[in-house]
Amino acid sequence: MTPVLIAGPTASGKSALAMAVAARDGGVIVNADALQVYACWQVLTARPTDAETAQAPHRLYGHVGARVPYSTGRWLREVAAEIAAIEDAGQRPIIVGGTGLNFTALTDGLADIPETPPEIRAEGNALMARHGLAWFVEHLRITDPESLSRLDQNNPMRVQRAWEVLQATGRGIAAWHSNTPPPILPLTDCVPIALTPRPEWLNARIAQRFAAMLDQGAVEEVRRWIEAGHDSALPAAKAIGRAEITDWLNGHLTREEVIERGSIATRQYAKRQRTWIRNRFQAWQTLSPEDGLDAALARVPR
């Protein structure tokens, strides 16, 4: 059966649609979210619950340790194997998530850039903490202007990544991308769907969901993170709400302030996701989750 891709901003109903497609078509749901891979976060990243995973098979969720860096390249290798296994079993792959770069790599291809050595990553983190984003932008302006011109220069993660690639390989990230291999799953070979809710509708859901997370176990997840002594520079530490809940547990914020700040951070993230979809997913079918789950499911071909 033709694979289905379901992308969209956080809290837009991606998982519900994926579950509905799986129930109708007998599919297997595969994660495309960069943070839902981490075992330490279930509630905080809205990873599928145990009840949901009992209703339909799920893959690539919660299978990575908190201290393990997890790249788009690794995800691409793992998702390729999952797609092949699911199709060999005669089932439908349903790939769902909010990380636009993963979908772009899957459908457009990804340059085979070597993994960044830990010592260079640590040096990059230290430089970012000491000098900030502007230092990296200026460094790349001198050493790798071609890569810099292709980057979102306001995105610290992407800018630091370009610096790390240059340090580790001696080649700019733009040069690596110029030799990108063919995609694993071209858009012509799948059903690509992007959920595009109105910001007002989505923001209300974000506020409601973030408040609910505090009562459903997110605080306990963060407490375990702190007790384990995990470094805040780890990729897993980027889970939205972790820093705010940490401040609450340390007595620096009230519960109401955590909800307000966590909701704001989530809205900002959702805005970046919507921008990615608008700019990169122009060939995808768009659906409005506001029309209801049944209406969205009806527009997903079997």
**CA distance linking residue 216 with residue 51, whole number of Å:** 14
Is 14 annotated as a binding-site member?
yes
Is 97 annotated as a binding-site member?
no
Is 289 annotated as a binding-site member?
no
Is 288 annotated as a binding-site member?
no
HSE-CB for 189 with a 13 A CA cutoff: 10
Torsion of CA 99, 225, 49, 43, to 10 degrees: -70
Kindly report the length of the chain. Answer: 302
Is 10 annotated as a binding-site member?
yes
Is 13 annotated as a binding-site member?
yes
Is 145 annotated as a binding-site member?
no
- Which residues are documented as binding site for substrate? 10-15
In the annotated binding site for ATP, the residues are 8-15
Binding-site residues sit at 8-15
